[in-house]
Structure 1
Amino acid sequence: MNWKHVSAAAALAAALCATVPVATAQNAEGVAAIVNDRVISTFDVRQRANLLLVSAGVQSTPELQQRARAQALRDLIDESLQIEEAARFEVTIDANQIDRRLADIAQQNETTLDGFVQQLAQAGVSITTLRAQIQADMAWQRLMSGMYGSRVRVSQVEVTETQQRIAANATRPQYQLSEIFLPAETEAEFAEMEQGAMRLLEQMQRGAPFPMVARQFSQSPSAAAGGDIGWIAAPELAPELQPIAERLQQGQVSLPVRTQNGVYIIAMRDRRAGAPTGATTIAALRQITAPAARQNALERVQRRIDGCGNLEREVATVEGATLLDLGQTQESELSPAIRDRVASVQSGRASPIVIDGDQVNIIIVCARETGGAGMPSREEISARLREQELTMLADRYLRNLRREATIITRQ
């Protein structure tokens, strides 16, 4: 679920010095949209647009006001549908729950709830606007969790495949990126989003913080984190973004980039070389050593080994042989000699024999698994995949609601 608007409210204190026209009673007159039987007033739209601009820390201009009102209207239409659908399933959010969320936001802003309300009022935003937004977000999250939470299953195969893909990309150049994404489908929408992206870029060039703009205007799940998508390898980006990321230097922000699904602005926060080969693989190794005179017997053992379950029994067949547990180690941290010996050895198999003075030895790769520094754990990957699936299902559900609703806009 998308919490970007509620998350952005925590950043309001830093941006409340922005100048936004105060709504007057006359603004309440007029209908901006009718969603089924629910009315969205022009006052509602102006209030939400003010909240968007103040939270993003941008200076209000006629162009940005127009962009913010268009975004506000879309958000309010979606929230109206979400509230209506939640009510149909008797999902309600009481005032105390909203109060607690507001108190948390005020605390994050290092102020009291009364102080926070006053700050909003000074910026021309009624607390009622934020309360309605929180109510819709909480109701929608509860509804989607109830509908899909127990049905979403992430298999261990999915986790392993994702882990392996991350590991494969980890050896390639890495970018620490933030993004702003504006979705589009038709040519008219692409043109609108490209113009809107340019207006946002101009505001950031004048000092508006990228994270605050992303929280309010980006339509990507990363918006809740200020557009932060963390460290990512080039192959994980949309093809249109890969050459852009390759050219961007630390601290630079791209021009708007059109992709198949919409328009992106990306910011290069940092970049680094890929990890050394083997840095994302942990190997469990054991070694069998025997007198050189027993080389033939050790060669027979080497050919028979299939896993580490019966190594003790195999060692007992070679006179004078010993078994040593080498532990679990990132392959990149092994000595060059050992790394070369096991590089092409499959899990459960043994390396060729090496003669070392009056001794011979083999190294057995008991297991290999993806891991190591900077790699997400299996639990983290599973949680990420589950959240992606829930978000996809929620987005699809909302699209169906839009398609089936009667929506009349008057702006």
Structure 2
Amino acid sequence: MIKNLIVYFLFLNALMNLSSLKADNKIEHKIAVLVNEDVITSYDIIQRLKLTAILQGINLNNQNNQLMINNAVDELIQEKVKLEKINEYNIKVDEEEYLSFESNFFLRNNIDQSKILSLLKENNIDYQELRGLLMKELSWGKLISGLYLRLTSVSQIEIDEIISKNPNITNEQAQSLVTQRQLDLQSSKLLRDIMNEATIEYR
């Protein structure tokens, strides 16, 4: 999906020490992608690249940086079109909701929150980058639930199948897993549809 990868590699080489993820503060904000006239800059890509590497505990190097760049750009493009749909339905998230979601994010991914926040600061990544990422994830989840939860249907066969593979979970947990699986399918379909409708221009 990515074009002009050499441009992004030049930004990486100029702005980032791959072993420590240290970046120069003086980053030129060049337009890299237009998504329905909404801009993604080279700075956005670098910030997302570093944020993802920190959250996933990945050391960037010459073997993985191309894949990481591609993934970062794809994620940013998808977030742009998701945000349009979120705004279309006027999805709102209050502070209590967000803080609970953030805490659960660190817990379910077994991530040390204080360590991550410290690494963000060390690598010149604004906390708002992380907050924005999680806020969009939470908002998209609320949108999908609002649109499709009432359409989900869970059979006892599906519940029994999950419990047979995971004997320690409860009937209620199994039902939630089946429901979430159906919502995930609807999420993927909606994202695919809006991506197909989007105008994406690489600079």
Which bracket does the TM-score occupy, shorter chain normalised?
Answer: 0.7 to 0.9
Q: Quickly say closer, same or farther: Cα 1:106–1:123, change in 2 above 3 A.
A: farther
Alignment of 1:69-88 (within 5 A): 69-88=69-88
Q: Quickly say closer, same or farther: Cα 1:54–1:75, change in 2 above 3 A.
A: same
Question: Which string of whole-angstrom CA distances, capped at 9 and with x for unpartnered residues, describes residues 15-45 of structure 1?
Answer: xxx6103143324x21121111211111011
Question: Which string of whole-angstrom CA distances, capped at 9 and with x for unpartnered residues, describes residues 75-95 of structure 1?
Answer: 111111111101001113356
Q: Which residue of 2 aligns with 1:406?
A: 199
The alpha carbon displacement at 1:125 in A equals: 2.0
Alignment of 1:13-24 (within 5 A): 19-24=20-25
Contact 1:33–1:409, Cα closer than 8 Å, also in 2? yes
The alpha carbon displacement at 1:127 in A equals: 1.4
Contact 1:35–1:406, Cα closer than 8 Å, also in 2? yes
Q: Quickly say closer, same or farther: Cα 1:100–1:392, change in 2 above 3 A.
A: closer
Alignment of 1:124-203 (within 5 A): 124-160=124-160, 162=161, 167=164
Contact 2:23–2:123, Cα closer than 8 Å, also in 1? yes
The alpha carbon displacement at 1:154 in A equals: 0.8
2 CA distance for matches of 1:118 and 1:380? 35
Is structure 2 residue 171 aligned with structure 1 residue 393? no
Q: In structure 2, the residue corresponding to 1:92 is in which secondary structure?
A: coil
Is structure 2 residue 175 aligned with structure 1 residue 382? yes
1 CA distance for matches of 2:96 and 2:168? 40
Q: Which residue of 2 aligns with 1:260?
A: none
Alignment of 1:151-300 (within 5 A): 151-160=151-160, 162=161, 167=164
Question: Which string of whole-angstrom CA distances, capped at 9 and with x for unpartnered residues, describes residues 166-211 of structure 1?
Answer: 75xx7xxxxxxxxxxxxxxxxxxxxxxxxxxxxxxxxxxxxxxxxx
Q: Which amino acid is the alignment partner of residue 22 of structure 1? A: A
1 CA distance for matches of 2:181 and 2:99? 29
1 CA distance for matches of 2:132 and 2:170? 37
CA root-mean-square deviation: 2.9
Q: In structure 2, the residue corresponding to 1:48 is in which secondary structure?
A: helix
2 CA distance for matches of 1:86 and 1:384? 24
2 CA distance for matches of 1:407 and 1:40? 11
Alignment of 1:31-50 (within 5 A): 31-50=31-50
Contact 1:117–1:127, Cα closer than 8 Å, also in 2? yes
Q: Quickly say closer, same or farther: Cα 1:55–1:103, change in 2 above 3 A.
A: closer
Contact 1:106–1:116, Cα closer than 8 Å, also in 2? no
Contact 2:101–2:138, Cα closer than 8 Å, also in 1? no
How many residue pairs match? The answer is: 182
Q: Which amino acid is the alignment partner of residue 119 of structure 1? A: L
Q: Quickly say closer, same or farther: Cα 1:381–1:105, change in 2 above 3 A.
A: closer
1 CA distance for matches of 2:106 and 2:171? 35
Question: Which string of whole-angstrom CA distances, capped at 9 and with x for unpartnered residues, describes residues 145-167 of structure 1?
Answer: 1001122111234435x26xx75
Q: In structure 1, the residue corresponding to 2:22 is in which secondary structure?
A: coil
Q: Which residue of 2 aligns with 1:25?
A: 26
> What are structure 1's unaligned runs of at least 5 residues?
1-17, 171-230, 232-373
> What are structure 2's unaligned runs of at least 5 residues?
1-18
Q: Which amino acid is the alignment partner of residue 52 of structure 1? A: T
The alpha carbon displacement at 1:56 in A equals: 2.2
2 CA distance for matches of 1:26 and 1:100? 33
Question: Which string of whole-angstrom CA distances, capped at 9 and with x for unpartnered residues, describes residues 261-282 of structure 1?
Answer: xxxxxxxxxxxxxxxxxxxxxx
Q: In structure 1, the residue corresponding to 2:33 is in which secondary structure?
A: strand
Q: Which residue of 2 aligns with 1:90?
A: 90
Q: In structure 2, the residue corresponding to 1:19 is in which secondary structure?
A: coil
Contact 2:154–2:179, Cα closer than 8 Å, also in 1? yes
Higher normalized contact order (CA 8 Å, seq sep 6+, divided by chain length):
2
Identity %: 21
Contact 1:23–1:43, Cα closer than 8 Å, also in 2? no
Higher mean displacement: 90-99 or 46-55: 90-99
Q: Which amino acid is the alignment partner of residue 121 of structure 1? A: K
Q: Which amino acid is the alignment partner of residue 86 of structure 1? A: I
Q: TM-score, normalised by structure 2?
A: 0.75
1 CA distance for matches of 2:104 and 2:172? 28
The alpha carbon displacement at 1:385 in A equals: 1.4
Q: Quickly say closer, same or farther: Cα 1:150–1:125, change in 2 above 3 A.
A: same
2 CA distance for matches of 1:92 and 1:23? 35
Contact 1:32–1:409, Cα closer than 8 Å, also in 2? yes
Alignment of 1:364-383 (within 5 A): 374=167, 376-383=169-176
Q: Which residue of 1 aligns with 2:65?
A: 65
Contact 2:159–2:171, Cα closer than 8 Å, also in 1? yes
